[in-house]
Amino acid sequence: MPPLRGPPRLPRLARGPGGLPGMTVAPTPEQQRVIDHPLEPLRVTAGAGTGKTTTMALRLAGLIRREGLEPEEALGVTFTNKAAEELADRLRTHLGDLAAEGRQAEVTTYHGFAHALLAEFGPLVGVERGVAIIAPGQARQLLRDALGAAPRRLLDLTSSGARVAELAALAGQLGDHLLPPTALTGGDAAPDEVAARRAEMADALSAYAARKRRLGVVDYADLIALAHRLLVAHPAIAERVRARYRVVLLDEYQDTNPAQREVLRLIFGGGFPVTAVGDADQTIYEWRGASRQNFEDFPRHFPRADATPAETLCLAQNRRSGRRIVGLANLVRDQIAARRGLERLEALADAPTGEVAAAWFHSALDEARWIAAEAVGLHDAGVAWRHIGILFRRHAGITVVRDALERAGVPVEVASLGGLLDVPEVADLHAWLRLIGRPDDSSGLMRVLLGAHYRLGLGDLAPLAAAPARRLPGHPNDPAAAGRGMLESLDRLEQTTGASPEALERLTRFRAVHRRLLEAAQGLSLVDLCRRVLDETGVWPEVEALDDSARLSARLNLYRFLDLAEGWSPLEGAPSLDAFLDYLDLLAEDGAAEELDTAQVSGEDAVTLLTVHRAKGLEWPVVVLPNLAEGIFPGGPHTLEDPLTRPEFLPYEMRLDRDYLPALPEDADERRELVRLRHQDQEWRTAYVAVTRAKHRLVLTGAYWYTEKKPKEPSPLFHLAAQSDGVERLIAADTPGEPPPALRFDPADADSPDPLFPLGRRAALRRAVVEPGYPGRFAADLGFAPAFEAARDRLMVVLEGLPLPPATAAAPAPFRTTVTSLVTFASCPLRFHWSAVDRLPRRPSPARRRGIEVHRRIELHHRGNLPPDEVTEGLYDLPGDEAAHGPDPFAVFLASRFAAFTPLLVEAPFELQIDGSLLAGRIDAVYVPEPGVWEVVDFKSGVRRPDPALRVQLEAYAVALGEAGFPGAPPAARVTFAYLGGGRLEEATEETGDVWRRAARARLGALLAAASAGERSPAPSESCRGCDFARFCEAGTAWLAAHPG
């Protein structure tokens, strides 16, 4: 903060009446009280939309007029650079002629103010004036290095990303409360497990601090801590800085942390005229250190010169929103249990009525399509695209709405913190870099080959994947080995069999590009390599073919990534592609890294999509709040901020705001409820911010289905809006119904949307498979029946002209099926045919997904870690749908005898040969309950139900135990179904011996023989109730009609 050397100051008397700004805005009486308040500490509680920034500017202008202040004697401090620019612009506007002369107030951010202190006085505390500030991504790299620098006895380093995130959280809390890592170590009492883990984390943070000192860098938390140390050690510095100003304006003060407060108190306490503006009910950044105590206790922290508390004035008149929107905002504020702000937000007397609308849909796709149609309708009615803002509680909800808008031809701008790698063009570039630098990156390979440039399908890649699978038999489920093997297979592409000519041609093109880029990577810088990838893959011409808004957005985001690559350098060592990819991985793990912020298309006429937190301080004539389903908005906590169970959270007694915090109960349930209620308050404050972004029209939407697991109900926020006075109820899906066929738009339809098929061409093809008469009826409805019939006849001629198979065909492969499919065959041969032979589309099954999740958790319990294989429906033997509601089946497992056993085998695959057929399966677990006794257990997440076909599963496992290569298996064994549904364990066990197994083998053989012969007669039964194909199965439909209920 060097001395100011601006233009020479004009004598005050020489200014004349024209030298001060005129009041371009007519202030309200409550604003005038703030403007006229004398030079002394003042807290201004400013509700949403009450014109706080304008009021601050007018206050400064009034002080210059009344008190004779020079503009340079005023300091404005706010949170972000953008907010600082806005505040500086507003101040210049109201400084009139003084601004024209180059006179202006100093405006900075809270961290910028601390940095200026260190730039001027840093050597007094051992900090060089030009010290480098590391970005959060670089900080995470150093944290990861520090974590692995020494053995960690209590910290699980198998998930290093999670540990780094926890370290970053603890480091942030230590900085927010001016504590060194050593404050967490030592002490006389023996630490409990959580405290011991926290002490081990503190040791890693001490190593992190040592690395920063060695490299001569600081992070953002260090700026505040070092500034505080400077002011405490050298009080004269505080006096010297204080003397430079006559007034300080603190903006968004409710979002400051205790450490920032203490720095400001050391300089500007004791009666200095500080004006703090904020609203405790808009504190939405507690998760990153903000403390509401700062704003609520400002009168005590910054008292008048006579030590009496500072005065508080309120701005309650909302100048932004219509009356109905303000009314809903007050209803939302009433939900905040710990409300500390205004009593009520008031609309202006002449404010328009405003509109509040609510709409509820069946699925996320329905909701997104409707939002797109709403935007188009508003635009057709004269609303500019840029006057529409769509605000999300979570980043995850943005994609499907963005896709719907783009399909409807709506220009969009996505302002996504940390979302740069999700921009399609950037994601493709990132995938290519991973392919070049990490040959084993299978996800990067899939992104490129399955993407729009090469347009290959999984079936096209099957022959390519088969070769490495044969060469690498020991790594069947290793994604890294698969990725390496597929790239190696490209070198033998000419020897690959089974691929279509089109697929071979595209793979050949990919191989050529990949080889050229591998060669170029040896001698190019990072940014030049990125440019070469873009040139080689033809990205720029594809970008130029986009519409105006999408083209500009894609180009700016690509430029942003290029700038990131060009500006990045490691803290240690030379730049390399592998180190850069490692850096991007850490940023991606952060989830909201500013370095990966998407580009802003400022000034473009486009609908804005962003999160509520990102929308703070912004406004739109029309605001849409989607995804208002239970658990999404308001949402539940990702992590319970309980320092008694989570080491990444600082104990309350060590925090600077400890007197403001509630006492934590010893009872875990009571403590969990307390933490939940605090989080719920923060969610309602976020909702208050969201609602008050709207000026004229506010639309709130939600849907039942966002996942395939189970439907969601409307959230309390949606209910509150839908039941408020004057709300426009647009659409209301009454019941969840069946899960939708899709929850995301089909990428295959993205490039050429067809108005005839609003659900996409792939969905139309699926319907044609299920309803053979559908294409003809559809053509007739459009008036194209003759043309359709002619095209069908031509196709039949082509099909009839195909050559017959050779007379001496190769010997057919043995019939092969799975245990799950054989159980289906035993239940209904026709259902088996439609699910395993001539496959028809199936509905997503929440019950099956729940069964998969329960099996996965049991497997993780027994293995003690996460398996590398991807969890899919084919991974476990799950015949039939299991109950999807009721108590948690995994909790029943944990209370059972099986949880205490160490299994001999877990998720053991096998392949059994019976009479020339192959039967594949996977045994959940094999236990040894007593010496010499093996017990095969198959877990069911539902309750026991009568289904004779299920016995096939136990028979297959018992026979496999003796014949499928399980060495040491005894001649007799137990086979058990363990039902975990309904809140209690129920077991069905059979003892097997030679006679039992021979009978089981004979039955399996008969079933396999019938299945391989093509048997597909229907066998209607209770199973029809859960059958995907019942609606076009005549026998199943008849049975259901005869057996209602």
pLDDT tens digit sequence for 55-72: 998 998 889 888 888 888
Q: Do domains 21-123+224-315 and 423-596 have the same CATH topology?
A: no
The sign one gets for the Cα dihedral 61, 65, 69, 71 is positive
Q: Distance (Å, rounded) from C-alpha 998 to C-alpha 988?
A: 21
Predicted confidence (pLDDT) per residue in 524-551, tens digit: 888 889 999 999 988 888 888 777 767 7
Q: Distance (Å, rounded) from C-alpha 646 to C-alpha 592?
A: 22
Split at pLDDT 50, 70, 90, the class of 715 is: very high
Angular region, 699: left φ>0, alpha ψ -120 to 50, beta rest = beta
Residue 755: is its pLDDT beyond 70?
Answer: no
Question: What integer is the mean pLDDT of 662-675?
Answer: 86
CA 934 to chain centroid: 44
Q: What pLDDT shows up at residue 884?
A: 41
Q: What pLDDT shows up at residue 873?
A: 38
Higher pLDDT, 591 or 958: 958
Residue 30: is its pLDDT beyond 80?
Answer: yes
Give Cα separations from 329 to 169, 277, 658, 690, 829 (angstroms).
32, 20, 31, 9, 59
Split at pLDDT 50, 70, 90, the class of 8 is: very low
Q: What pLDDT shows up at residue 352?
A: 93
Domain range annotation of the chain:
21-123+224-315, 132-215, 346-416+604-732, 423-596, 747-800, 816-1032
611: tokens are 């999160």
888: tokens are 């948690």
CA 839 to chain centroid: 34
Higher pLDDT, 546 or 987: 987
Q: Distance (Å, rounded) from C-alpha 927 to C-alpha 441?
A: 37
Question: Cβ(589)–Cβ(140) under 8 Å?
Answer: yes
Instruction: Evaluate whether the domain defined by 21-123+224-315 bears CATH number 3.30.2140.20.
Output: no
Give the CATH number of domain 423-596: 1.10.486.10
Composition of the chain by helix, strand, coil, percent to 5: 50, 15, 35
The DSSP annotation for 797-820 comes to HHHHTSPPPPTTPPPPPPPEEEHH
Number of C-alpha atoms within 13 angstroms, CB side, residue 796?
6
CA 377 to chain centroid: 30
Predicted confidence (pLDDT) per residue in 756-767, tens digit: 565 555 566 666
Q: What pLDDT shows up at residue 854?
A: 82
Split at pLDDT 50, 70, 90, the class of 476 is: very low
Split at pLDDT 50, 70, 90, the class of 874 is: very low
Give Cα separations from 352 to 347, 383, 484, 697, 810 (angstroms).
9, 17, 64, 11, 80
Predicted confidence (pLDDT) per residue in 273-286, tens digit: 999 999 989 988 88
Task: Name which of 224-238, 380-394, 410-424 the model is least confident about.
Answer: 410-424
Predicted confidence (pLDDT) per residue in 888-921, tens digit: 788 889 889 998 888 888 888 888 899 888 898 8
Closest Cα to residue 420, out of 604, 565, 607, 594? 594
Split at pLDDT 50, 70, 90, the class of 523 is: confident
Higher pLDDT, 378 or 857: 378
574: tokens are 């030379």
Residue 867: is its pLDDT beyond 50?
Answer: no
The three-class DSSP label of residue 156 is coil
Give the CATH number of domain 346-416+604-732: 3.40.50.300
Q: Distance (Å, rounded) from C-alpha 245 to C-alpha 105?
A: 10
Q: What pLDDT shows up at residue 396?
A: 83
Most confident of 721-735, 792-806, 869-883: 721-735
Higher pLDDT, 45 or 188: 45
Q: 2.60.40, 3.40.50, 2.40.10, 3.90.320: which CATH number matches 816-1032?
A: 3.90.320
Average pLDDT, the chain: 82
Question: Cβ(433)–Cβ(581) under 8 Å?
Answer: yes
Question: What integer is the mean pLDDT of 173-184?
Answer: 94
DSSP category for residue 882: P
Please tell me whether the peptide bond between 473 and the residue prior to it is cis, using omega within 30 degrees of 0.
no
% the chain with pLDDT above 90: 33
Burial status of residue 451 (CB atoms within 10 A of its CB: 0-12, 13-18, 19 or more): middle
Record the pTM: 0.65
Maximum CA extent, the chain: 114
Question: What integer is the mean pLDDT of 401-424?
Answer: 84
Residue 648: is its pLDDT beyond 70?
Answer: yes
Question: Cβ(259)–Cβ(657) under 8 Å?
Answer: no
Q: What pLDDT shows up at residue 14?
A: 29
Split at pLDDT 50, 70, 90, the class of 188 is: low
Split at pLDDT 50, 70, 90, the class of 885 is: very low
Q: Distance (Å, rounded) from C-alpha 802 to C-alpha 61?
A: 87
Q: Distance (Å, rounded) from C-alpha 908 to C-alpha 902?
A: 14
Question: What integer is the mean pLDDT of 1011-1019?
Answer: 89
Residue 832: is its pLDDT beyond 80?
Answer: yes
Q: What pLDDT shows up at residue 794?
A: 62
Task: Name which of 548-552, 632-636, 641-645, 693-697 the model is least confident about.
Answer: 548-552
Residue 595: is its pLDDT beyond 70?
Answer: yes
Higher pLDDT, 771 or 625: 625
Q: What pLDDT shows up at residue 603?
A: 59
Q: What pLDDT shows up at residue 296?
A: 92
Residue 1015: is its pLDDT beyond 70?
Answer: yes
The DSSP annotation for 232-275 comes to HH-HHHHHHHHTT-SEEEE-SGGG--HHHHHHHHHHH-TT--EE
Question: What integer is the mean pLDDT of 449-470?
Answer: 70
- Inter-helix orientation angle 258-268/220-233, to 10°: 30
Q: Distance (Å, rounded) from C-alpha 583 to C-alpha 142?
A: 11
Task: Name which of 116-120, 506-510, 862-866 the model is least confident about.
Answer: 862-866
